[in-house]
A and B are shown apart, each in its own frame.
Chain A
Amino acid sequence: RMEASCLELALEGERLCKAGDCRAGVSFFEAAVQVGTEDLKTLSAIYSQLGNAYFYLHEYGKALEYHHHDLTLARTIGDLLGEAKASGNLGNTLKVLGNFEEAIVCCQRHLDISRELNDKVGEARALYNLGNVYHSKGKKVASAGTHDPGELPDDVKNALQKAANYYEENLAIVTELGDRAAQGRAFGNLGNTHYLLGNFRSAVLAHEQRLLIAKEFGDWSAERRAYSNLGNAYIFLGEFETASEYYKRTLQLARQLKDRAVEAQACYSLGNTYTLLQDYEKAIDYHLKHLVIAQELNDKIGEGRACWSLGNAYTALGNHDQAMHFAERHLEISREVGDRSGELTARLNLSDLQMVLGLSYSTNNSMLSESQVVENSLNGTRPRAGRRHSMENMELMKLTPEKVQNWN
């Protein structure tokens, strides 16, 4: 009677998670654990699903705990396939937590067992996971520096090259298996790895394949991701017109998917692209669209970034009053969110603008304007390097909460 109850609770948990309600699923699984069962395979399945549910809920500490329980249990009962799966899940969780070395050990275990069991599907999945761990490892170190993609220290390059090799190995197997969805995922991440390595042509080729597969499946989200990644690669190829076309398709799909955060990101990318094309009117148009959505989503960091970009674009057009307005707003927001480098950038922009405005306002009084110039140039002794640095550090907050995807 108790056995049935544990099973019933677990089955309800499974049903809820599959329906996308992980939060409710978790409470049923936890109730099932409370009731308990003698059947260790059932318990292992419950632990595994609890781990995955917490993973999708972004509660990685809890995910780690349950996948670890699952691994211990699988080993205890000598369930090799179960051990491989638990190792893979533990590896993915450790990766998200930034513990790359342990993640590699776990994913390697997943790979070794899959090969031992001659499980091609498992082998391919382990290779994809290993690629992801090395990609994250490389990206983490790379993001600490301030270089363009392609200009990387050796350890970063090595990690990314390994990631590329694992994705290629994965691709060879899933192509043989005819698993198009898996091919799509591998092409996407391979493309991003090439992008970071500075192989922009290869990145384009991979993302084009990803796009093709996304269209085959009618997967709009994947299609939108491909457009966005293609846009990024074309920026670094210096083909800004092409980049703008891809970003426009991203924007179109973001609107169809009714994803405001992604729409904001697309507008921001378009604003930057038109700035590179020196079409400041269009740049302002898109940055304003980005600003509106950032305010709507109460995304202060995005709002600050929009103000900074707008200040720049208006300055480029010589509209110093508007430039001043947005520089002031940027300063306010930087203070509000405690962004010290943003605050410094804003101050420097403001003092530059004040200088220009001060001069143009005082053209009928040459004495005053001369003294103003002196005063301003005295204030102008400041670290120029600091400004460049702060610009490079305009990092993008990931706006989109990753959705519960691919439960199965």
Chain B
Amino acid sequence: SQPLAGRQAAELQSKVVPSKQILHSDNMEMEPETMETKSVTDYFSKLHMGSLVYSCTSKRKSK
């Protein structure tokens, strides 16, 4: 029965040698998403700039 055992072992071994199939589990590494951003700061600073421009022009006009 020893040769039979040997044969079984060899069969088992050849069965478990993995193919490329197992590598399906490999992680594909994606780049991050880009989200569009809005900010109250931007808006606030624009407002501020607007009023600055306004005060400058009105000063100039008043001169």
Contacts and interface: CB of A to CB of B under 8 A. Distances in A.
Interface of A: 7, 10-11, 14, 41-42, 44-46, 48-49, 52, 55, 70, 82, 84-86, 88-89, 92, 110, 122, 125, 128-129, 132, 135, 146, 148, 182, 184-186, 188-189, 192, 195-196, 222, 224-225, 228-229, 232, 235-236, 265, 268-269, 272, 275-276, 278, 305, 309, 311-312, 315-316, 318, 320, 349, 352-353, 355-356, 359-360, 362-363, 366, 369-370, 373, 388, 391-392, 394-396, 398, 402, 405-408
Nearest to B28: A192
A353 B41 contact: no
A132 B8 contact: no
A315 B34 contact: no
Nearest to B15: A352
A7 B28 CA distance: 42
Contacts of B8: 355-356, 359
Contacts of B28: 192, 195-196, 229, 232
A7 to B, nearest CB: 6
A310 to B, nearest CB: 11
A234 B8 CA distance: 34
Nearest to A139: B28
A104 B15 CA distance: 45
A385 B39 CA distance: 56
If over half of B's interface residues share one DSSP class (helix, strand or loop), that class is named, otherwise mixed; here it is: helix
Contact of A11 (B16, B18, B27, B40): B40
B4 to A, nearest CB: 7
Contact of B25 (A10, A305, A369, A406): A305
B16 A316 contact: yes
Interface residues of B, number: 37
B22 A14 contact: no
A55 B17 contact: no
A187 B34 CA distance: 15
Interface of B: 1-2, 4-5, 8-9, 12-13, 15-18, 20-44
Contacts of A45: 38-40, 42-43
Q: Which 4 A-B pairs have the closest CB atoms?
A: A85-B36, A359-B5, A225-B29, A45-B38
Contacts of B20: 148, 235-236, 276
A362 B8 CA distance: 14
Contacts of A369: 1, 4-5
